[in-house]
């Protein structure tokens, strides 16, 4: 079966203004990287918009209405010091969530082995009732709950290797034991969450990394902490919050990974999916702010998905 690839031109319309790191050029870099002959076999799809009912899987209706009401009709608006929005932000955010939902549907129906969603805005910082950290809707948490509530799965796992801890997704794991959340991330660092494992919450695994950590530290955290916990949970679907800002060239952090590390992690997560989820895995873009590093890392990540 092929690897599905979801994206949409509307993601460029989420305009964050001059100098903002989460900018449209990120998507252009990803698109260019996935246009080469190595990626001709990808099944390409346009991301649909998530409905209000879809968004309600991760956010109260009042939050969705308030966020939509806060979008400017021209120029820019600020939801917090980091999270800038424009008139095109609402449709882009709906399609970001919609892409991951559609990818989950395709994979669970057996029409694709796995999927990658090139989306923006990212999602893993978005709390159920609060946008933050460039994120409006929590794309992966919504898709995980879609798999649980609408497809009837009993266990869904999210692995987040973005350099920033996905506080919003962790909130959902704390609320729902059917959702496993694991994260490797720089600590102490934004958003100030993600302390090491809380034994009282067995479906939550945090493996913080020190500034300056590289391949050896990251792979050790995965092999000693994350992967054994994932295998014990035995997910029926694996989701990846695929942030590539732990790359050594990224300007927003101080972890020193490279493309080979992301490819290695992807392969290891595919092994988990093969063991308990019939290989079913969906990945969604989160961070990554050096354009060349982002493009190379996404290409390495997707090559592994296509080879599985």
Phi and psi for 85 in degrees, rounded to 5?
A: -130, 165
CB-based contact 308:43 (threshold 8 Å): no
- Annotated catalytic residue within 8, 14, 124, 125: 125
C-alpha 65/C-alpha 250 separation (Å) is 34
What is the tally of structural domains in the chain? 1
Phi, psi of 307 (to 5 degrees): -80, -10
pLDDT confidence tier of residue 303, bands split at 50, 70 and 90? very high
Predicted local confidence at residue 186, as pLDDT = 98
Cα gap 168→72, rounded to integer Å: 24
Q: Is the pLDDT of residue 237 over 90?
A: yes
- The separation between CA 231 and the C-alpha centre of its own chain, rounded to angstroms, equals 20
> Which bin fits 143, alpha (ψ -120 to 50), beta or left (φ > 0)?
alpha
Per-residue pLDDT tens digits for 24-71: 999 999 999 999 999 999 999 999 999 999 999 999 999 999 999 999
pLDDT at residue 283, as a whole number: 99
pLDDT in tens, 68-83: 999 999 999 999 999 9
Contacts of residue 213, Cβ cutoff 8 Å, sequence gap at least 6? 186, 255, 256
User: For the purposes of burial, counting CB atoms within 10 Å of the CB of 279, is it exposed (0-12), middle (13-18) or buried (19 or more)?
Assistant: middle
Whether 197 has a pLDDT exceeding 90, the answer reads no
Q: What is the mean pLDDT of the chain?
A: 98
Whichever domain contains 68, its CATH number is 3.40.800.20
Q: What is the reported pLDDT for 256?
A: 98
**What pLDDT is stored for residue 200 in this prediction?**
78
% of the chain at pLDDT higher than 90: 98
DSSP characters over 24-52: HHHHHHHHHHTTSGGGTT-EEEEPPPPPH
164 a catalytic residue: no
pLDDT given at position 199: 76
Contact between 186 and 256 (Cβ < 8 Å):
no
Say if pTM beats, i.e. exceeds, 0.75: yes
DSSP secondary structure string for all residues of the chain = -PEEEEE-GGGGG----TT-SS-HHHHHHHHHHTTSGGGTT-EEEEPPPPPHHHHTTTS-HHHHHHHHHHS-SSS-EESSSS-EE-TTHHHHHHHHHHHHHHHHHHHHTTS-SEEEE--SS--TT-BTTB-BTTBSS-HHHHHHHHHHHTS--S-EEEEE-SSS--HHHHHHHHH-TTEEEEEEEESS-TTS--PSP-TT-TTEEEEEE-TT-BHHHHHHHIIIIIHHHHHHH--SEEEEEE--TTBTT-TT---BB-HHHHHHHHHHHHHHHHHHSTT-EEEEE----SHHHHHHHHHHHHHHHHH-
117 pLDDT more than 90 = yes
Give the rounded distance of the alpha carbon of 123 from its chain centre. 7
Average pLDDT over residues 189-217: 94
User: What are the structure tokens assigned to 146, written together?
Assistant: 């879609």
How far from each other are the two terminal CA atoms of the chain, in whole angstroms? Answer: 9
Domain residue limits at 124:
3-307
Q: Give the pLDDT score at 207.
A: 98
């Amino acid at each position: 079966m092929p690897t599905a690839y979801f994206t949409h031109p509307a993601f460029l319309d989420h305009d964050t203004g001059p100098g903002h790191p989460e900018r449209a050029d990120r998507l252009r870099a990803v698109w260019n990287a996935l246009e080469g002959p190595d990626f001709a076999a990808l099944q390409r799809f346009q991301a649909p918009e998530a409905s209000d009912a879809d968004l309600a899987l991760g956010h109260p209706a009042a939050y969705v209405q308030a966020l939509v009401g806060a979008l400017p009709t021209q120029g820019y608006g600020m939801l917090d010091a980091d999270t800038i929005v424009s008139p095109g932000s609402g449709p882009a955010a709906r399609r970001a969530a919609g892409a991951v939902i559609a990818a989950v549907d395709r994979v669970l129906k057996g029409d694709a082995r796995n999927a990658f969603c090139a989306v923006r805005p990212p999602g893993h910082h978005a709390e159920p009732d609060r946008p933050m950290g460039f994120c409006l809707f929590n794309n992966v948490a919504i898709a995980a709950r879609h798999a649980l509530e609408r497809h009837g799965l009993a266990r869904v796992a999210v692995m987040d290797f973005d350099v920033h801890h996905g506080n919003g997704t962790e909130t959902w794991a704390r609320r729902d034991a059917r959702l496993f959340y694991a994260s490797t991330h720089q600590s102490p660092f934004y958003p100030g969450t993600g302390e090491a494992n809380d034994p009282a919450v067995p479906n939550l695994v945090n493996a913080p990394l020190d500034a300056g950590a590289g391949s050896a530290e990251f792979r050790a955290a995965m092999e000693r902490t994350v992967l054994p916990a994932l295998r014990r949970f035995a997910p029926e679907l694996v989701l990846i919050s695929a942030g590539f800002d732990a790359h050594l060239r990224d300007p927003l952090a101080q972890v020193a990974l490279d493309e080979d590390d992301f490819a290695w992690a992807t392969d290891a997560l595919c092994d988990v999916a093969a063991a308990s989820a019939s290989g079913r895995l969906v990945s969604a873009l989160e961070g990554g702010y050096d354009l060349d590093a982002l493009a190379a890392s996404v290409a390495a990540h997707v090559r592994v998905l296509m080879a599985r």
